[in-house]
Amino acid sequence: MEIEIGKGKKGRRAYGFDDIAIVPSRRTRDPEDIDISWEVAGHKFELPLLASAMDGVVDTKLAIALGKLGGLAVLNLEGIYTRYDDTIPILEKIASLSREEATRGLQEIYKEPMKEELVAKRIKEIKDAGVLVAASLTPQRVEQYYKTAIEAGLDILIIQGTVVSAEHVSTQVEPLNLKKFISELDIPVIVGGCASYSTALHLMRTGAVGVLVGVGPGAACTTRRVLGIGVPQATAIADASAARMTYLEESGRYCHVIADGGMRTGGDIAKAIACGADAVMIGSPFASAKEAPGLGYHWGMATFHPTLPRGTRVFAGQKCTLEELLLGPARENDGTLNLFGALRTSMATTGYQNIKEFQKAEVMVAPALQTEGKALQQAQRVGMG
């Protein structure tokens, strides 16, 4: 239902994760009987999880560690790891920048050109460890570097930007023909971001195996303020899942919906899947893991844009190991640890055995969910406070 914004404009109401709640069903299950695995393009993962292609989150070491835990890390092939051979002093410099210096400092650091030999080197480092390799390139650079990446052993390509469309119009350059490009590749492609039914559907029609859903919800992203664009994640995911059904009916192919950003707790991840996501991509929670390369700091892919930065460097701290973050045990009660133990328990508590079933869970608009009965927690700033 549209709401009148003014005489000449109407708009839909949209919802974020804090606005909704998952409704328990008539059935409950044991957590041990719940299957949270995810399969895409013939690859099976024990966790329905991608780590965001952000330099403070994913380096080759974290990619290897996450792969062994059952998830998939995405390496940013346009980041510092393909600009500098020795990245340790670079990461230390980024961590040492004052808040006032951070944006300008990052812009200077990322002026260093990309090096094709480092693209190949980083992919081989992950490949040699025996885990699946996923990496991202923007539409502007993918044609320049994809062959090097594939020759080095890339398994899954992510074509990613703030917003990616199947119909880019330009009078300046020849736009990338996503459908033609993807059809000619021998490896699966995931594309995004998007935040609407129509954009998601058009991206699915390119032949991608998955679409990333999310424009501006990430902890380090400022797109929503700088550009004024975005859709709250619960609504964006539900719209994309509707596009998935349309695409399935017209083509017979299933395209995965991957919720990208805006999730901090296990409850957020559960809500993303209940809204229709097949898997989630998260960044800032990883930044707080001791194995993360950013030394507790986290910044987005557009933070260092030379003329219009659309992100900031944020401090996530270093509070846990990667395994504690994802699988526990949790030593905090705020939902930020043992994220996938929480997903498994949420599914068990509401009676759904696997991801496909959980996508059909009843969801209701419940803005009181975060505050009802929580006055003491809020006053003492513990738990949900």
pLDDT tens for 118-135 read: 999 999 999 999 999 999
Let me know if residue 385 belongs to a domain: no
Contact 305, 319 (CB under 8 A): no
46 by Cβ neighbours in 10 Å (0-12 / 13-18 / 19+) ranks as middle
167 by Cβ neighbours in 10 Å (0-12 / 13-18 / 19+) ranks as exposed
Let me know if residue 22 belongs to a domain: no
At 372 the pLDDT is 76
Residues of the chain falling short of pLDDT 50: none
Beta bridge partners of 330: none
Let me know if residue 233 belongs to a domain: yes
Let me know if residue 24 belongs to a domain: no
| pTM of the full structure | 0.94
Let me know if residue 45 belongs to a domain: yes
At 168 the pLDDT is 67
At 170 the pLDDT is 61
Domain of 208, in residue numbers: 30-380
Let me know if residue 4 belongs to a domain: no
At 167 the pLDDT is 63
Let me know if residue 299 belongs to a domain: yes
Let me know if residue 218 belongs to a domain: yes
Cα distance between residue 343 and residue 36, in whole Å: 8
Helices (H), 215-354: 223-226, 233-251, 266-274, 284-287, 322-327, 339-350
At 30 the pLDDT is 95
**What is the signed CA dihedral for 134, 79, 295, 323, rounded to 10 degrees?**
0
214: CATH = 3.20.20.70
Contact 233, 272 (CB under 8 A): yes
Cα distance between residue 291 and residue 309, in whole Å: 27
At 14 the pLDDT is 94
Total tally of structural domains belonging to the chain: 1
